[in-house]
Amino acid sequence: EMVMTQSPATLSLSPGERATLSCRASQSVSSNLAWYQQKPGQAPRLLIYGASIRATGIPARFSGSGSGTEFTLTISILQSEDFAVYYCQQYNNWPRWTFGQGTKVEIK
């Protein structure tokens, strides 16, 4: 069974700082990894797919990297609207996709 593990569970940062979120897969997912942002009461929003490709309309301060089992989402300069929960999702282990448990980015 594929397991996606995100760290840390919570990241406390100030606006203007850099955020680095990690996602680890229990087995290789190649570059078949997506990142989502979710704010309270809202549906998730796709940020990144293919491990590093920004989705339509996503600001350049969001970047993704990694392949295989280790992935990183970086927010270069945190804006007030970026405080949210972030999820990774693998779509390599056919037929079942898996999400990580999430990382909450909160205001310090």
Nearer to other proteins, 16 or 43 (CB): 43
From the list 34, 75, 84, 105, which residue makes contact with other proteins (rule: CB under 8 A)?
A: 34
When asked if residue 43 is in the footprint of other proteins (CB under 8 A), the reply is yes
Tokens at residue 7, please? 């760290």
Please say which residue, 83 or 87, places its beta carbon nearer to other proteins: 87
Within 10 Å of residue 12's Cβ, how many Cβ atoms?
Answer: 12
Residues 87-106 that bind other proteins (CB under 8 A): 87, 89, 91, 95-102
The Cα 21–Cα 19 span in angstroms is 6
**Nearest Cα to 91, choosing from 44, 56, 58, 49?**
49
Query: Please, what is the minimum distance in Å from the beta carbon of residue 40 to other proteins?
Result: 11
3-state secondary structure of 77: coil
| Amino acid at residue number 74 | T
- Contact positions toward other proteins, by CB under 8 A? 32, 34, 36, 38, 43-46, 49, 55-56, 87, 89, 91, 95-102
